[in-house]
Structure 1
Amino acid sequence: MTRTVLVTGSSRGLGAEIARQFGAQGDQVIVNYFQHSDAANSVVQTIGADHALALQADVRDRAQVDAMVAACKQRFGTIDVLVNNALVGFKFDPTVQKQFAELTWDDYQGQLTGTLQGAFNVTQSVLPLMQAQHAGRVINIGTNLFQNPVVAYHEYTTAKAALLGFSRNLAVELGADGITVNMVSGGLLETTDASAVTTPEVFAMIAANTPMGKVTTPKDVAGMVTFLGSAQAGGITGQNITVDGGLTMN
């Protein structure tokens, strides 16, 4: 069965890999982007223009989100799978990360708005489509850093921890509608735009302390996301599944 999948922030990095993997399965994919239209259209071309569509929207802006969802509906009829992946304005650079005493609430608010409000806006906008068909998958992208803060990325990690609470509350409420809600938490990914400035020493430290002896890749995480979007994962909801080679164990 062909499904329609919306992946936020999917012009590059992990989001692009998730979009490509869904597309390789024959799904119809909406490649959402904020600024990088050329990169988004490149992902669409990889999937195939008959089965993919690039749409610009800042997930922090509800009007833009609603317009994107309306365009999705017009093109593909519905949305079966939503992946909240967008990451707004953060780089994993331990050399410039502020210590807690140097942080302001605006630093926290920026990540809470991008991560939590972004997921809130898109999920709430998509929800009527899923409820109308009594089926859907919502998959939120988390991090293993709130289990094992190798580097204290305070504001980023706190926002992702809040996203887990958001996910589990939705899972409780939406189960009766046939909608599952889960989180997939990767380790630090080698390499995306956000982790491009991460020092080799940090990557080496993570690999040395990971049972599988390697750093997690976007392909690793995307594989779990596509599984949770599948029919085989219909009995899984409210879970945070960590994909990090065993660095953290639940």
Structure 2
Amino acid sequence: MATAKSSIQRRLPDSLLDKGLEETLPIGVQKSYFMLPEPERNLLNFALEKYRPGQVDSIPVGGQKVLKTALRLACNYRLAIEEVEGSQAVTNYTRWIDTVQVRGTEKPEVCVAFSPRFERIWLELKKLLPRYLTERPARLRLRSQYSLRLYNWAKSYAPVGSKRISLERLRKVLGLEAVRDAEGNLIQAAPLPVWANLRQRALDTAIAEINKKTDLKISLEELGRSQHRRITTLTFGISFQRFHNGNDDE
């Protein structure tokens, strides 16, 4: 979990995201958001609710009592936004809050401003807030990016009970496919290219954490193989289960 020290919270590149996935907000931003301490996250939510497209003016968020929270949000929790520009992978380091302003002296008013450069991120997060607030207890428990990705994908299939998926698409779900530029040139090879490593280090870990900490129960029921015995498809059992809202993160 992020600490009071300046911590870098990473956002995965857009090219690592499957356009068919439920989420349009990069998974790294989602995870960073849920890892914020509750006071900082609540203040961010309040500011985002007032945020409008093209806004550059500061947003009032409260009186003197929220100043320390706003300063922590501006200084201690950051994002590393990884993108592909042309044929290069580029990392932009930014903060959740760009500036904190205090207006007045007798009854000071604390205001915050977002960086206009990352307007798309703020607007997308604002749009997803209602659902995030509903699902917060489950998502807050997940610490692995693979767990959060798999949870996001599997949630909509729980009423059906099972889902078959190709290994190629599963890589996209987990953020483990290759990074390519607009012309299709390879910029970064796919992580964990060997199936045994992918299963052990990403998939099995994600399933175990989801089953232990959320309202979903996932099992790997069947592996489909090609005539050369290579894994090509996977079938998951997905169902809802009861879970406690207490803090049991070990």
The structure where helix makes up a greater share of residues is 1
**TM-score w.r.t. length of structure 2:** 0.27
The structure where strand makes up a greater share of residues is 2
